[in-house]
Amino acid sequence: MKKRVYASILLVVTLSGAVQSHAQETRSPIIDMHMHHNPWGPPDENEQPSDWRQAWEEAKPLMDEANVVLGLVSGSVEVAQEWQRLAPDQIIAGIIFPCDGGILANSGGRKCFKNGEVWPDVDWLRQEIEEKRIGFLGEITTQYLGLPPNDTKMDPYYALAEELDIPVLIHIGMGLPGAAYSSLDVEDVWCGEQPCAPNFRAAMSRPMLLEEILIRHPRLRICVMHAGWPMQNEMINLLYNHPQVYVDVAFLMYKDVIPRRAFHGYLQALVEHGFGKRIVWGIDGDHSDAPEVIEAIESAEFLTSEQEADIFYNNAARFLQLTEEQMSAHFNR
């Protein structure tokens, strides 16, 4: 039986490509590449930034318990930025867009931006990035508007991300079951009497739709959220032909979403095709669920301890271009 990620030695790939050993007596550090903030649902009319701070104070102990040393957080940009302000060494704020009707998908009414816009102003976004208030673009949710990720409306944002060298995290693959329907029309949907996302279209997020984006913007760092599930062959095709692409396995690791055996089969296919160095971890949920989502990786018997460490930390550190100083701080908390 393989050693688990609790092992005393973790291999960390530095920016130069060298391998260093770090003693670690507790759980190895984890980078969460797919976080959303709380509160997420409809805002109370009296909601204040103090409520966002309280939500962070509740989230932080859960992250610390799981040893999540860095999280990429998106949602309402104001809340994400407040979390980053409160914990600049542990949180990177992102920006979800486009937003159908100006509303976050699956949120029940929370706005993406204070002004209720569907698309962020490019000049404003440039300033937010340059002043370090936004660190990545994502979750990109064109699929929720029934648009493909290579829609021409997205090109100014991809060009900006390439120019300023920040990552782009794109929702590709699954939404909530029955996202476009209400429970009044179709049984076994997850959102009740109102659809989560009436314009959601599964066909709009095939992994290979990213190919022309990558050709036009070859220095763009793209992470495919949900690893393109269930489009395994397309995902492998994209990874093979475009070595700058990474994938996260967020949301796939919940047993009530995908049976564990099916998730392991999908993960194993990516690893056996040679892409174990380009898979990253994300929770896409609440960190009270971290034990289940960590176990999803640790219970994959085909993974070596080094491959587990890659998924939990090393691959994300490389993708995010973390410095040796930042990584050292993660291992000496």
pLDDT tens sequence across 245-268? 999 999 999 999 999 999 999 999
Q: Domain map of the chain by residue range?
A: 28-322
Which tokens belong to 198? Answer: 């009436």
Q: Give the model confidence (pLDDT) of 298-321 as tens digits.
A: 999 999 999 999 999 999 999 999
CATH superfamily label, 28-322: Metal-dependent hydrolases (3.20.20.140)
Of 108 and 247, the structure prediction assigns the larger pLDDT to 247
Which tokens belong to 10? Answer: 């973790």
pTM (two decimals):
0.91
Contact 81, 93 (CB under 8 A): yes
What is the C-alpha to C-alpha distance for residues 304 and 52, in angstroms, rounded to an integer? Answer: 39
**Least-confidence region, from 19-23, 38-42, 171-175:** 19-23
The pLDDT value recorded for residue 24 is 36
In the structure, what pLDDT confidence band is assigned to residue 7 with cuts at 50, 70 and 90? very low
Contact 120, 164 (CB under 8 A): no
Amino acid at 59: A
In the structure, what pLDDT confidence band is assigned to residue 20 with cuts at 50, 70 and 90? very low
> How high does pLDDT run on average in the chain?
90
**DSSP run (H or E) holding 138:** strand 136-140
